[in-house]
């Protein structure tokens, strides 16, 4: 019997486990917020408490049948069924034919990606990860490429979804292609304290937040040393894959779609900063972590590096994690993670979305010198030559005022001094063009005065205070490797 037939003949669904209500922010012993004493707790106890907190955060009903006739363990919602669940390892093994090599779609230093099918006929992709916070895969044709073994933080793309699109398995006529039930799964390759921490952080954050511009959690699996997280599947991949990956030649991102993506992703990050309790710093905002659903609506993803910020804290000092080209200077140099660091990263992403350029590019094929997208775009913006910043693939089909707005917002977000950057709520207002006064103030910002020679005009900062971001956006370890929380005086 084929694996498809075996899967389709299952007549019973997965069991749903009872859990309690949403936990307080301290449910993980302060570890997610950077409380140093909490790290003294043994990893076994910490993990148990974390997973219990995750279960409570998911807010499932009890296992008893509800009076309204709802299925046990499910949470009834008005518009659509978005119930989370706990997957068993047996389910995911069955879905992938026990992670059979024939189901393997790609692999790299981080692990492997498998295709599978759930019992109800929906498609599932299972990713095998050594650092599960980074959701990527490698094309089958590049499995033996040693460059694929570079540590995950040095990769500039995730593009995990394109493998399924290329796979013959995705074209089997016998499969049910219900988009609402397609999912993607991360699987921990080898257990470690670091990976366990990132697993608990990501599930905790995803269980806490609900927003249309954040990637939805479908559930998780934690059996023995197996750790898997299940998400909604995004068929249009990510901004990165559409701009620089295999779909770049298709030019799917019209200007209208780019504007909607910019606003949607800004709203998702603004929710993390201003509405989530406690507030959340993403710490890895980039083009490959902004996923696109079937309608090209943005979903911010990958919360493995996220930090929960206690009330009153201005920043968290921690070891630097992130991606080349997107790191704010104060974070790369001193390890000071704040909401403003996400603003910087989002500014780079905006410029990437508008221009089609990568965050860091060589000045020419014959030289090793590099230039950031901010360094490239700023002189053009000062000269009001916004049309030259637009992605050539648009072929001039864009709204000039909207392009100018996106470029100016991106540049003001990506300036060196964090106190001069806007908040994400202000970014949303600027991108939507809701305040003519703020737009005028933005256009007349001293950063954009003609004749400036560096990323920050001398009129904006004092002598020696400004600093142009490094061309390589290099990652450095924090000066203080311990995690501390600083509050405003």
CATH code, domain carrying 139: 3.30.200.20
End residue of a domain, out of 186, 211, 232: 232
Confidence grade of residue 380 (pLDDT, cut at 50, 70, 90): very high
- Percent of all residues in the chain with a pLDDT value above 70, rounded to a whole number: 56
**Residue 144 pLDDT:** 39
> Which DSSP letter does residue 175 get?
S
- Catalytic-residue membership of 284: yes
Number of Cβ within 10 Å of residue 235's Cβ equals 16
Residue 291 has pLDDT above 70, yes or no: yes
Number of Cβ within 10 Å of residue 385's Cβ equals 11
Cα(400)–Cα(387) distance, integer angstroms? 7
Kindly state whether residues 192 and 295 are assigned to the same domain: no
Q: What six digits make up the tokens of 448?
A: 């954009």
The CATH number that applies at residue 476 is 1.10.510.10
Spatial neighbors of 423 by CB under 8 A, at least 6 apart, are 270, 273, 274, 339, 343
Among the listed residues 284, 342, 391, 416, the single catalytic one is: 284
Q: What six digits make up the tokens of 481?
A: 């490797």
Kindly state whether residues 386 and 409 are assigned to the same domain: yes
Kindly state whether residues 200 and 153 are assigned to the same domain: yes
Average of per-residue pLDDT across 224-248:
85
Residue 420 has pLDDT above 60, yes or no: yes
pLDDT in tens, 5-48: 443 333 333 333 333 333 333 334 344 444 444 443 344 444 44
Confidence grade of residue 196 (pLDDT, cut at 50, 70, 90): confident
End residue of a domain, out of 210, 232, 254: 232
Kindly state whether residues 256 and 211 are assigned to the same domain: no
Kindly state whether residues 340 and 478 are assigned to the same domain: yes
Buried b (16+ CB within 10 A) or exposed e, 38-76: bbeeeeeebbebbbebbbbbbbbbeeeeeeeeeeebbbe
**Residue 261 pLDDT:** 98
End residue of a domain, out of 181, 198, 232: 232
Kindly state whether residues 214 and 249 are assigned to the same domain: no
Confidence grade of residue 155 (pLDDT, cut at 50, 70, 90): very low
Kindly state whether residues 291 and 213 are assigned to the same domain: no
Kindly state whether residues 377 and 443 are assigned to the same domain: yes
pLDDT in tens, 430-486: 999 998 888 899 988 989 988 654 555 434 544 334 333 333 333 333 333 334 445
Kindly state whether residues 213 and 269 are assigned to the same domain: no
pTM, two decimal places: 0.68
Kindly state whether residues 282 and 370 are assigned to the same domain: yes
Confidence grade of residue 395 (pLDDT, cut at 50, 70, 90): very high
Kindly state whether residues 130 and 255 are assigned to the same domain: no
Higher-pLDDT residue of 484 and 326 is 326
| The total number of structural domains that make up the chain | 2
Kindly state whether residues 199 and 280 are assigned to the same domain: no
Residues of the domain holding 281:
239-487
């Amino acid at each position: 019997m084929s694996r498809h037939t075996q899967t389709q003949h299952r007549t019973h669904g997965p069991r749903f486990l009872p859990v309690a209500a949403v936990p307080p922010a301290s449910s993980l012993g302060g570890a997610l917020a950077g409380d140093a004493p909490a790290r003294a707790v043994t990893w076994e106890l910490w993990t148990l408490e974390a997973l219990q907190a995750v279960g409570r955060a998911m807010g499932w009903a009890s296992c008893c049948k509800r009076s309204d006739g709802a299925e046990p363990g499910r949470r009834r919602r008005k518009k659509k069924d978005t119930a989370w669940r706990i997957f068993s390892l047996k389910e995911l093994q069955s879905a992938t034919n026990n992670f059979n090599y024939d189901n393997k779609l790609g692999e790299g230093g981080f692990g492997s990606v498998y295709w599978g099918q759930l019992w109800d006929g929906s498609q599932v992709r299972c990713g095998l990860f050594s650092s599960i916070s980074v959701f990527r895969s490698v094309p089958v044709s590049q499995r033996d490429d040693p460059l694929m073994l570079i540590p995950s933080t040095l990769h500039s793309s995730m593009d995990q979804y394109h493998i399924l699109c290329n796979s013959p398995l995705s074209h089997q006529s016998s499969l049910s292609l219900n988009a609402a039930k397609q999912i993607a799964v991360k699987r921990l390759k080898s257990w470690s304290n670091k990976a366990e921490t990132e697993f608990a952080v990501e599930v905790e954050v995803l269980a806490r937040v609900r927003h249309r511009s954040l990637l939805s959690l479908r559930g998780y699996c934690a059996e023995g040393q197996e750790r898997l997280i299940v998400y909604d599947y995004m068929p249009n991949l990510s901004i990165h894959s559409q701009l620089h990956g295999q779909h770049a030649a298709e030019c799917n991102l019209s200007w209208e779609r780019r504007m909607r993506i910019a606003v949607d992703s800004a709203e998702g990050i603004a929710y993390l900063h201003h509405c989530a309790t406690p507030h959340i710093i993403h710490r890895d905002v980039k083009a490959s972590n902004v996923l696109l659903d079937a309608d090209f609506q943005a979903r911010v993803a990958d919360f493995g590096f996220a930090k929960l910020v206690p009330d009153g804290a201005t920043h968290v000092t921690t070891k630097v994690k992130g991606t080349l080209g997107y790191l704010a200077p104060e974070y790369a140099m001193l390890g000071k993670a704040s909401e403003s660091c996400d603003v910087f990263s989002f500014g780079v992403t905006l410029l990437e979305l508008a221009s089609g350029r990568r965050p860091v590019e060589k000045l020419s094929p014959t030289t090793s010198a590099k230039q950031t997208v901010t360094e490239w775009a700023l002189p053009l913006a000062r000269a009001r030559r916004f049309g030259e910043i637009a992605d050539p693939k648009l072929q001039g089909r864009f709204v000039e005022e909207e392009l100018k707005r996106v470029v100016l917002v991106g540049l003001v977000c990506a300036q060196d001094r964090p106190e001069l950057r806007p908040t994400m709520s202000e970014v949303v207002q600027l991108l939507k063009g809701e305040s003519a006064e703020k737009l005028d103030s933005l256009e007349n910002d001293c950063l954009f005065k003609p004749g400036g020679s560096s990323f920050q005009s001398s009129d904006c900062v004092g002598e020696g205070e400004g600093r142009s971001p490094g061309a390589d956006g290099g990652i450095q370890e924090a000066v203080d490797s311990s995690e501390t929380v600083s509050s405003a005086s």
